[in-house]
Amino acid sequence: MTSFTCSPGEKVSGTIRVPGDKSISHRSIILSSIATGVSHISGFLQGEDSLNTIRAFQQMGVEIERQQDRVCVKGAGLHGLTASATDLEMGNSGTAMRLMLGLLAGQSFDSRMVGDESLSSRPMLRVIEPLQAMGASIASEPGGRAPLQVRASPGLKAIEYDMPVASAQVKSCLLLAGLYADGETVVREPAPTRDHSERMLRAYGCEVTSVDREIRMPAGQQLSACDVEVPADISSAAFFMVAASIASGSDITLQHVGVNPTRTGVIDILKLMGADLELLDQRDVGGEPVADIRVRSAPLSGIDIPVELVALAIDEFPVLFIAAACAQGTTRLSEAEELRVKESDRIQAMADGLTQLGVTTQVNADGIVIEGGLMGGGTVDSHGDHRIAMAFSVASLCAQQVICIKDCANVNTSFPGFADLAQQAGINIRIGD
């Protein structure tokens, strides 16, 4: 079992580029596979999650060639996928399973999707139920868990759906199913969520409108191949934003980071805490805003995290909790119950790890209260959750003793090469078994 041993560090510095955005990488393969024509993708995330998505489409007959972060997809067209002879392995990825369930629900063949232990315990009813309302035939394990068996559909009915949770995965799943439905698909979200699917569908020639959190997509759309340049993942960059903020004397520049406004909650929250972050050379790359981000250390203060920023920073809370533990004063997070159904229960797993390091926390059903102060050392369990493993690696910069982090292999799902890049930037991290 891979572990990280992290010794107290001093500062982080340099200019680095973190790997490609996971959400955009998954979507680029999905849309390219059902488009007509050849799509070229650059900056693709070579992590286990997105590589599984490539494999799944290859199993369904799509010609995909990859050389490092460059991928060439020969689209099969909307109705050109074929049945896979074996199960589709989604590994650790909720995004892949939920988005692909929407796509598979509209196919004229059966499919079966499986995942690892974490993914097999995550809630899938949030996508199964609206898809069933569209006429999809899906069987699951009790409680709507994977493996998921999808039966060939004779055609889906378009629906209007008010999402009970603010989830880009649910929205994207329904838009993908909507490509195979008989009328206009309408999805309303209770709070803004990442809009990469809408942006990318438009780039592939689809008509999708989005007004006041209501997304509409007419029936009968075709997708045309498109070249995609995947920006660096703000969720991976976030580890270095917090690292540079908490380690005095730090000055780091993160290159070519995606700064889509539905993803920048982490920047807003850190700024509210007093962080010194500067967005440089803001530009548009293929319909997605991108910038270089310079971060210099600054004293952080605890805050009440504004609830409207929760969905916009949903993946960054593990490392934001580390910022809170290193800040002066109390940080309170509420209305974040979604964190309990991510790759792990991120509220409990982070609270347990912080407690091991001597940080005072109070766990609530929908959030956490963290008292900033001194951090000791100790052994923490990442519960196989990539973002928890990386968050505690960052914590070592301010810890008084060594932090050992257990069960870190899944860092490769989203951030291959994390330990090397972190080491290069100034985090003292050693990989062990």
- Shortest distance in whole angstroms from residue 58 CB to ligand S3P: 21
Stretch that binds ligand S3P, among 105-113, 152-160, 161-169, 269-277 (CB under 6 A): 161-169
194 binds ligand S3P (CB under 6 A): yes
Question: Where are the strands (E) in 312-386, listed by range?
Answer: 330-333, 361-364, 367-371, 378-381
- Shortest distance in whole angstroms from residue 11 CB to ligand S3P: 29
Binding mask 318-347 for ligand S3P (x = CB under 6 A): --------------------x---------
- Pick from 92, 153, 169, 344 the residue near ligand S3P by CB under 6 A: 169
306-334 as b/e: b if 16+ CB within 10 A:
eeebbbbbbbbbbbbbbbbbbbeebbebe
Stretch that binds ligand S3P, among 163-171, 202-210, 211-219, 288-296 (CB under 6 A): 163-171
The catalytically annotated residue of 21, 116, 233, 315 is 315
Measured distance CA(406)–CA(124) in Å, rounded:
28
Cβ atoms < 10 Å from Cβ of 12 = 27
Q: Which is nearer to ligand S3P, 84 or 197 (CB)?
A: 197
- Shortest distance in whole angstroms from residue 51 CB to ligand S3P: 16
- Shortest distance in whole angstroms from residue 414 CB to ligand S3P: 8
CB 189 within 8 A of CB 162: no
Residue 178: DSSP 8-state: H
**CA end-to-end span of the chain:** 5
Binding residues with ligand S3P: total (CB under 6 A)? 11
- Shortest distance in whole angstroms from residue 326 CB to ligand S3P: 24
Peptide bond preceding 8 in cis form (omega within 30 of 0): no
Distances from the Cα of 162 to the Cα of 29, 170, 184, angstroms: 27, 11, 14
CB 137 within 8 A of CB 110: no
Q: Which residues make Cβ contacts (< 8 Å) with residue 211, sequence separation at least 6?
A: none
Stretch that binds ligand S3P, among 65-73, 148-156, 166-174, 217-225 (CB under 6 A): 166-174
- Shortest distance in whole angstroms from residue 314 CB to ligand S3P: 5
State the alpha helices, DSSP H only, in 234-280. 234-246, 265-272
168 binds ligand S3P (CB under 6 A): yes
172 binds ligand S3P (CB under 6 A): yes
- Shortest distance in whole angstroms from residue 24 CB to ligand S3P: 8
Stretch that binds ligand S3P, among 33-41, 164-172, 204-212, 288-296 (CB under 6 A): 164-172
315 given a catalytic annotation: yes
Stretch that binds ligand S3P, among 104-112, 134-142, 162-170, 237-245 (CB under 6 A): 162-170
Q: Which is nearer to ligand S3P, 126 or 256 (CB)?
A: 126
Amino acid present at 333: L
Measured distance CA(257)–CA(404) in Å, rounded:
29
Binding mask 302-321 for ligand S3P (x = CB under 6 A): ------------xx------
Q: Which is nearer to ligand S3P, 253 or 413 (CB)?
A: 413
Measured distance CA(129)–CA(107) in Å, rounded:
18
Place of tokens 């010194």: 276
Q: Which is nearer to ligand S3P, 242 or 359 (CB)?
A: 242
Beta-bridged to residue 296, according to DSSP, are 251, 276
Q: Which residue is nearest to ligand S3P (CB)?
A: 23
Q: Which is nearer to ligand S3P, 96 or 326 (CB)?
A: 96
- Shortest distance in whole angstroms from residue 379 CB to ligand S3P: 27
Across the beta sheet with 36-42, the strand order is 63-67, 70-76, 36-42, 228-229
CA angle 5, 8, 9 (to 5 degrees): 110
Binding mask 11-50 for ligand S3P (x = CB under 6 A): ------------x---------------------------
Helix (H) or strand (E) holding 380: strand 378-381
CB 109 within 8 A of CB 135: no
193 binds ligand S3P (CB under 6 A): yes
Measured distance CA(35)–CA(363) in Å, rounded:
46
* Residue ranges that bind ligand S3P, judged by CB under 6 A: 23, 95, 167-169, 172, 193-194, 314-315, 338
Residues known to be catalytic: 315
